[in-house]
Structure 1
Amino acid sequence: MRHENGSTAIPEGRAALRRRRAAAAGGAALAGSIAMMLSGAPAQAVDTADETPTRIPQLDPAVASGLAPARPAGMPAVAAPAAARLPAPAAAGIPQTYVVQRGDTVSAIAARHGLRTADVLALNGLSWSSIIYPGQVLRLTSGAASAPAPAPSGGTTYAVRAGDTISAIARRHGVPTAAVLAANGLNWSSIIYPGQVVKIPAGGTAATAPAPAPAPAPGPAPSPARPGASYTIQAGDTISAIARRHGVTTAAVLAANGLGWASIIYPGQVITIPAAAPSAPGLDAEQVANAQLIIRIGRELGVPDRGIAISLGAAMQESWLRNLDWGDRDSLGLFQQRPSTGWGTEAEVRDPARATRAFFGGPGDPNGTRTRGLLDIPGWQNMSFAQAAQAVQLSAYPDRYARWEQPAHAWLAALG
């Protein structure tokens, strides 16, 4: 129907339908607002009370039932914002700091105080792979850290600084290192960290922490200790460096102190330096031990130095001065003696002492007259180095013994 002013009249039925729809939309929005209030408003709530939609939005079933706030069609749902990242300093019942106890974990500490693990990690500059230690002080709130707990009766406390050691702290306070370790449940292998609070037992004089000073210029390395003496570990030391400085093997230092390759050493720790093992140019520990045995037996038998040097050269050529359990055909041991040619059983030719006596021969030859040793060769003293060795060994390569003449005399000079 058209009115006189030219406007088009809205049929009564359609107008009533539009009013009913608008009322339904308003009711749904109101119900949604109530639901939001009951469940807690988001961090940034938007007041839309004065907004009048230009068209009726499509409502989802949850909105229509009043279980969720209304939102325009096509707008994605927004999850409720996460809780604040850092706990408030004034949170009731939450202390500002916590001293780590043995067996603690960051997650357990956070749960115990109703905090998130991630927040405690962030407050203390830690990561998920960080390690915490008994006595370490952790912040639990974003407020200023509180002062350390008062010292126990009869003692005091000390906050560890970079470069500190338990022995240095104990010395500074005039108490034994063992007393500080015992007071804090530590042992000689424990690790301390800057910021850790340690107890100083009664009996010493209180000392204030010295002001940080520039690092001193590196001084000369400590003088090596006498073989078999003790050595006090300095900052920066390693077992391998200590062993090298004292002319002993790393394995020997570890064994002398009951340590393993994974053991940790600390400044102020006292370790034993074993007697330096003899050395000879070009020989390792096993070769040195076999060379010493050959020299000792040669001396016992009264063999001249040249004869001992010949035996050393022969053993080096035959087995690299090692007690081998294999060789050409049935050859075995230091001198690659063959059971099949009368030098003894497999066990006998692999006995370094017996094999050496058989090489030298003479009145003390364990094989009697079955084999011929160096001392049994007429005129061996007038033979060349290689000829004398070949007269005993009967090698297919007789000239190869000559190259060991000079090294053998050097080994004899170093070990004999």
Structure 2
Amino acid sequence: MKHFSPPLLAASSRRKSVGGHQYHSKKSSSPQGVGYIASPILDFWLTGGVSVIAMGTLLLIYWLGGNHSTSVTDAISQAIVLQALVNWPHFMGAYGLLYQPLSNIKKYPFATLYIPAILLICLVLALATAPHQASAWEVNQDIAYAVWLVAAFYLAWHYTGQAWGMMATFSRLSGLMLGPRQRWLLRAGLRLLLIWHVVWGAQDLPDHWLGGLGRYIPELLQVMTWLCVMAFLIGIGIWVSIRSQSGRWPDKRVLVSWLAVYMWYWVLLLMPAAYVWVQLSHALQYLAFPVRMQVNQAAASTSLLMNKKRLPRWMPVGLKYYLWLVGLGMLIFYLPMILFPVNQTYGLPVVLASMVSIHHYFVDGCIWKISHPEVRRALFWHLPSQKAG
């Protein structure tokens, strides 16, 4: 998710409108003087705390148990409940923001109309050109494989973009001002991870696609690995420099967002089968943001306010929205596996899931931009202080 910030609003001089809802500015600061999305504590664990512990545990299992790590990753890959509760809902989270209000259809035609239309055409072609020897729901494997590949490689941009979005969001909320050189170096490190991801994935491409260059992939992956290690060390140097200059470390949510993405790729290098864990970690990072936007919209439209002495009155809104995402995710990702059981490597359920993934990645890169003032006002409206806006 590129820059955590949907485009659902227009501002007036005294009120901010998000998706048709009016947002009034607030003047006090958050309980700890630092802005938050879920809560000052939950943000850390959702953003990367849980991910770092999970990745660290996997690495420990790998170093201590070697091949035993495979059984651990196989177990999680079969845990459909985690997919249903974490991964699938995160894909659905952007759609309520994209299509509400309906004016977004005109404002973002590529995300709302053109890309879905292109994907639908690909689906029709995949079904129409399939041999249909065993089932009417068979799909053309060449088209299906191409769609799957696009989703797989697009994921590299998505992961690293979300990492920067996390860092940018919590840097703003905590008042961390990175210098131009520091920003460039940190983002360059993420770009190197992106390239590493692409090279890593290219190992599985057919040899004839690479025109004989496939034999260089292992060496190139090794070079990219060392470059990423250097980027990681440079990042540590940046954080230490900030600590020495300011007398305090950057916000722990910024640090854990940065650390988590490097640990993801370290795990993928050593344990490729653990990609499911990485998916779940990424999804957990994402979920709090669309839920926060939905809660803010509901609060703005119904004048729900946080009561410091009681549970927030808007909490049921967030829970209801999350459960809706769970149900929609199961409808899109799980139901096709039951309705269209075909004996194909890249069957119809895989094609549908890949298409939703591609659209999800495109939507995130289109509408979630923390650099947009109107987006910040919507995402941070719940904070007593509008300093971040």
Normalised by the size of structure 2, how large is the TM-score? 0.15
Q: Taking structure 1 as the reference length, what is the TM-score of the superposition?
A: 0.14
Q: Judging by fraction of residues, say which structure has more helix.
A: 2
Higher relative contact order (CA 8 A, sep 6+): 2
